[in-house]
């Protein structure tokens, strides 16, 4: 079922749309922050430096940061899980992947605008290693979205043809969905526990 979502020659899938939206919006956000909203980009870069230094130095700020990560990462994931099962949920997915691209491009462009190559190193430090795990989870979510649309169509056809529904396929789908959520949860753990050490090193990079 999952492999069928990738091997569809001549047909544009939601997986391809999601990747294209993210990359296109990422470069668009970078262009905005470097050529149109330069003052805003400078402010974002400055605020990011200050906020992260406060988080690393202040235990109370760090606890507040943990709560913000749980909210900002957990709530969107739960919402996407819900819209996964809705027929027009793919539009919500498209909007979310576009927003991820624009926001990521804006932040990257802001740090580039403010600190040059060191700013790129800082962004990588802020994103490693959790973003690698998040990327796998979001990639898997797109696959599951396409797979669910195919599974729902097959189950609808089974009702029309008065055939028994394939419960094993649904069970496999639920299992993969839970595994993918586990991967995403691992990303949250990495962001809370491992990333502060990496970010501390990236903040020490020499500024242009």
What pLDDT is attached to residue 49? 55
- DSSP collapsed to 3 states, the chain: CHHHHHCCCCCCCHHHHHHHHHHHHHHHHHHHHHHHCHHHHHHHHHHHHHHHHHHHHCHHHHHHHHHHHHHHHHHHHHHHHHHCCCCCHHHHHHHHHHHHHHHHHHHHHHHHHHHCHHHHHHHHHHHCCHHHHHHHHHHHHHHHHHHHHHHHHHHHHHHHCCCCCCHHHHHHHHHHHHHHHHHHHHHHHHHHHCHHHHHHHHHCCCCC
- pLDDT at position 160, please? 47
What pLDDT is recorded for position 180?
96
Per-residue pLDDT of the chain (208 residues; tens, 9 = 90+): 444 444 455 567 777 888 899 999 999 988 887 776 666 555 555 555 555 555 655 556 667 778 888 888 999 999 999 998 888 888 999 999 999 998 888 888 878 877 777 778 888 888 889 999 999 999 999 899 888 888 887 767 665 455 555 678 888 889 999 999 999 999 999 988 888 888 777 776 665 5
């Amino acid at each position: 079922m999952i492999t069928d979502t990738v091997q569809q020659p001549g047909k544009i899938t939601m997986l391809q749309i999601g990747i294209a939206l993210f990359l296109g919006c990422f470069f668009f956000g970078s262009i905005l922050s470097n050529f149109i909203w330069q003052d805003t980009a400078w402010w974002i870069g400055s605020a990011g430096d200050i906020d992260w230094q406060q988080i690393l130095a202040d235990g109370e700020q760090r606890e507040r940061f943990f709560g913000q990560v749980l909210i900002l990462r957990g709530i969107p994931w739960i919402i996407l899980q819900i819209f996964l099962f809705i027929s027009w949920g793919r539009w919500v997915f498209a909007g979310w992947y576009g927003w991820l691209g624009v926001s990521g491009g804006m932040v990257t462009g802001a740090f580039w605008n403010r600190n040059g190559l060191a700013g790129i190193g800082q962004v990588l430090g802020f994103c490693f290693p959790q973003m690698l795990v998040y990327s796998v989870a979001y990639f898997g979510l797109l696959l599951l979205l396409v797979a669910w649309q195919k599974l729902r169509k097959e189950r609808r056809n089974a009702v029309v043809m008065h055939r028994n529904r394939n419960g094993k396929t649904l069970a496999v789908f639920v299992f993969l969905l839970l595994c993918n959520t586990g991967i995403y949860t691992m990303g949250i753990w990495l962001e809370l526990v491992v990333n502060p050490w990496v970010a501390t090193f990236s903040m020490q990079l020499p500024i242009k």
